[in-house]
Copies of this chain bind each other. A is one copy, B any other.
Amino acid sequence: MADVARSAGVSTMTVSNVINGRPRVGAATRERVLAAINELGYQVNLAARHLRAGRTGVVGLAVPELERPYFGQLASRLADRFEAQGLRIVMERTGASREGEMDAVAFSRLRMYDGLILSVVDIDPAELAQIRTDAPVVMIGERALPSGFDHVMMDNVDGARQATAHLLATGARRIAMLGGDPTGSANMPALRAEGYALAHTQAGVPMEPDLAVRCRFRLQDGYDEVRRLIERGIGFDAVFALTDLVAIGALRALADAGLRVPDDVQVVGFDDIDEAPYLVPSLSTVNPGHEEMADAITALLLAQLNGGGPTRDPQELIVPAHLIRRGTTKPVD
């Protein structure tokens, strides 16, 4: 900028004024400055501007994995909303690890982002609470954490309960659950497992431990675990997959085994990803309230941004989930 100023025979301040389109600059001066900028190929240094301004205009979205459809679709919804406010959304991954998640918080604390939306998976609630940050942060995804952060959750328990209840109502009695994590307590698999158990209790149907299979959230995992159930001769008449991706893998394994969906085995997923209605048969799944979540996240973060940090008491919001009945489940009798 100093070069430009020198070349145009003005002060850096005038250059700054021209660049930022501030009014009180003479036309001739402006011309000269613009010419110099052009000639020298000058470009603003944002790092410096941010240092000065104390803000970046960027909102970070940190998710476990960049390739999970759910997160891509969430990012897209958030980007729509934040762009309308003149803010950029950038997405990065934490690798679903404690470190990655702490890193993301650190990164935003460190003023690269004006605000951060963090999908927490592996971080310890106690550890979270310890983080001292005055940077705007909204947490998403898991259950109520005693963390002191704004927090938007989907209703994992009730969504899973609805899915399982529907399967039971359509006559299923042996429902395999793919992805349940019997160990954790506040994490997503545990919550969805809770809903699965709740529906069984409410319907007075006993659960079979062999049918609760722990697995990760990839296509391959759903496929492998269903195959394994079949090979082990463990009979089941329905599958509740903890994510749609797992459900897609399961559907493939069922087809390979010659089992018809939904006649022999019904399937319900969770997430209602964009692809769900287009599968053959179309996937019944739990819609976690996509638009409402995006709205809530946006509103909470904007409130913090405008308020200069987490001034209010931390908000906790649970967005209602609802079951979408499609082709992989039978109609209720």
- Cβ contacts under 8 Å, A248 to chain B: 275, 278-279
**What 1/0 mask marks residues of chain A from 82 to 110 whose CB sits below 8 Å from any chain B CB?**
00000011111100000000000011011
- Cβ contacts under 8 Å, A107 to chain B: 46, 88
**What 1/0 mask marks residues of chain A from 266 to 279 whose CB sits below 8 Å from any chain B CB?**
00000000110111
**What 1/0 mask marks residues of chain A from 212 to 249 whose CB sits below 8 Å from any chain B CB?**
00000001000100000000000000000000000011
A219: contacting residue among B41, B46, B67, B278, CB under 8 A: B278
Min CB gap A270→B, angstroms: 16
- Cβ contacts under 8 Å, A47 to chain B: 47, 50-51, 56, 111-112
- Cβ contacts under 8 Å, A280 to chain B: 251-252, 255, 279-280
Do A41 and B132 touch (CB < 8 A)? yes
- Cβ contacts under 8 Å, A41 to chain B: 132
Stretch at the interface among A72-80, A167-175, A302-310: A72-80
A110: contacting residue among B44, B65, B255, CB under 8 A: B44
Copies of this chain in its oligomeric complex: 2
Do B56 and A51 touch (CB < 8 A)? no
- Report if A76-B66 is in contact (Cβ < 8 Å); known contacts: A46-B112, A111-B46, A275-B219: yes
Do A76 and B67 touch (CB < 8 A)? yes
Instruction: Provide a sorted-by-A list of 27 A–B residue pairs whose CB atoms are within 8 angstroms.
Output: A41-B132, A43-B106, A43-B110, A43-B133, A44-B110, A46-B110, A46-B111, A47-B47, A47-B50, A47-B112, A58-B112, A60-B90, A66-B75, A67-B69, A67-B72, A67-B76, A75-B91, A76-B93, A88-B107, A89-B92, A90-B92, A248-B278, A252-B278, A252-B280, A252-B282, A275-B275, A279-B279
Q: Flag whether A45 is at the interface (Cβ < 8 A).
A: yes
Q: Flag whether A27 is at the interface (Cβ < 8 A).
A: no
Do A79 and B51 touch (CB < 8 A)? no
Min CB gap A285→B, angstroms: 15
- Cβ contacts under 8 Å, A50 to chain B: 47
Q: Flag whether A48 is at the interface (Cβ < 8 A).
A: yes
Closest-by-CB residue of B relative to A278 is: B252
Q: What bracket does the count of chain A residues touching chain B fall in?
A: 35 or more
Do B275 and A251 touch (CB < 8 A)? no
Min CB gap A50→B, angstroms: 4
Q: Flag whether A6 is at the interface (Cβ < 8 A).
A: no
A91: contacting residue among B91, B110, B277, CB under 8 A: B91
Closest-by-CB residue of B relative to A220 is: B278
Give A252 to B283 CA distance when docked, in angstroms: 12
- Cβ contacts under 8 Å, A88 to chain B: 92, 107
**What 1/0 mask marks residues of chain A from 115 to 159 whose CB sits below 8 Å from any chain B CB?**
000000000000000001100000000000000000000000000
- Cβ contacts under 8 Å, A60 to chain B: 90
Min CB gap A139→B, angstroms: 19
Min CB gap A143→B, angstroms: 26
